[in-house]
Amino acid sequence: MNTTSKPKILVSRAIFPEALAELEQSFDVISNQADVVMTPEALASQLAGVSAALVTGSERIDAKALAQAKGLKIVANISVGYNNFDVPAMTAAGVMATNTPDVLTDTTADFGFALLMATARRVTESERWIRDGNWNQWSIVTNPLGMDIHHTTLGIIGMGRIGQGIAKRALGFGMNVIYHNRSRLPEADEKACQARYVDKETLLKEADHVILVLPYSAESHHTIGAKEIALMKPTATLVNIARGGIVDDVALAAALKAKTIFAAGLDVFEGEPKVHPDLLACSNVVLAPHIASASEKTRRAMIALAARNVRAALAGDKPPSLINTEVFTK
């Protein structure tokens, strides 16, 4: 008789049933298929009894969450971003932190460009216009008029994998691509993207469309505020697929209302899932509920990578996308 017990793991949010069943073959799984967001107290209680956890951005992993989690070896984020992780606190507790890079790059870049197009060409605004019964006749000048994308200048702030993917998509539209990043790309990568490095102020002044793809940190908080928006062209658009908090949503709403810039497209928000009421009142903003990676194929791949990270850690191997590498000891 085999009395070996399976390691106990937590899956903090609902995942595809097949993925859950696969995990249950190897682990004693505490699941949350009801998809109820845990309170910090409930999360801490669950972490106290498991060896690993698969979580999402709705779960804050900090010193308080880890205080009683003495047997916890790894927390695997089902996301490329990890601003829900207090990485120093996790490292101090000896808990490995992982994310899911690469598997969502193209899907997220696709959505970033789709949001750019919807914003510049007023796609959702036009739909509302029809639904509200405003299409009484075709007109050259009164139907919703947008801004061109082709042969304009695209400014990308944050030139990692996703930013480079967006730059390459822009080439098909004949766009001039400029970018700003913490560090300049190697020459070969710049050539592949046909992108030119500039400082942030130059980018904001020159770009017809600005898209944000940088990771969130204390340093990147409110990278775009009233001062930065004032540098942009009145015909410019601003798209944020990075993280809430990178844009000052209150300042952006005021700028949209005053038509300081033409329009904005947002997939992320400060304090999401709550959205600032001033943004909801603006007609010249396209709003999406943090869905840049939301294709079924990609979400399945993200869960699979998170699971591989957990399996590796609990087997004593280095997880494939380990963030705090100093914690790993073979």
Taking residues 81-94, report their average pLDDT. Answer: 95
Q: In this structure, are 273 and 140 located in the same domain?
A: yes
More confident residue, 137 or 276: 276
Q: How far apart are CA 20 and CA 11, in angstroms?
A: 9
Catalytic residue, chosen from 272, 276, 300, 308, is 272
Q: In this structure, are 280 and 160 located in the same domain?
A: yes
User: In this model, does residue 3 exceed pLDDT 70?
Assistant: no
Asked if residue 3 is part of any domain, the answer here is no
Q: Has 243 been annotated as catalytic? A: yes
Give residue 143's pLDDT band: very low, low, confident or very high (50, 70, 90): confident
User: In this model, does residue 103 exceed pLDDT 70?
Assistant: yes
Residue 239: φ, ψ to 5°: -120, 130
pTM of the model: 0.92
Give residue 93's pLDDT band: very low, low, confident or very high (50, 70, 90): very high
Asked if residue 1 is part of any domain, the answer here is no
Catalytic residue, chosen from 243, 270, 299, 311, is 243
pLDDT at 137: 84
> Which residue in this structure is represented by tokens 């869960």?
303
pLDDT tens for each residue of 33-61: 999 999 999 999 999 999 999 999 999 99
End-to-end CA distance of the chain: 31
Q: In this structure, are 147 and 76 located in the same domain?
A: no
Q: Has 290 been annotated as catalytic? A: yes
Asked if residue 71 is part of any domain, the answer here is yes
Taking residues 232-255, report their average pLDDT. Answer: 97
User: What is the maximum alpha-carbon separation in the chain?
Assistant: 80
Q: 52-55 and 28-30 as β-strands: parallel, antiparallel, unpaired?
A: unpaired
Q: How far is CA 312 from CA 76, 207, 324, in A?
A: 11, 44, 15
Q: In this structure, are 184 and 111 located in the same domain?
A: yes
User: In this model, does residue 249 exceed pLDDT 60?
Assistant: yes
Domain span holding position 313: 8-102+296-327
Q: In this structure, are 272 and 305 located in the same domain?
A: no
Domains: count for the chain: 2
* Mean pLDDT computed over every residue of the chain: 95
pLDDT tens for each residue of 151-166: 999 999 999 999 999 9
pLDDT at 108: 97
Catalytic residue, chosen from 161, 290, 300, 308, is 290
Q: Has 13 been annotated as catalytic? A: no
pLDDT at 4: 66
User: In this model, does residue 298 exceed pLDDT 70?
Assistant: yes
Taking residues 261-278, report their average pLDDT. Answer: 96
pLDDT tens for each residue of 23-33: 999 999 999 99
- DSSP codes of every residue in 35-52: -PPPPHHHHHHHHTT-SE
pLDDT at 29: 97
Taking residues 140-154, report their average pLDDT. Answer: 94
Q: What is the DSSP-derived secondary structure letter of residue 54? A: E
CATH code for the domain of 119 = 3.40.50.720
User: In this model, does residue 2 exceed pLDDT 60?
Assistant: no
More confident residue, 89 or 81: 89
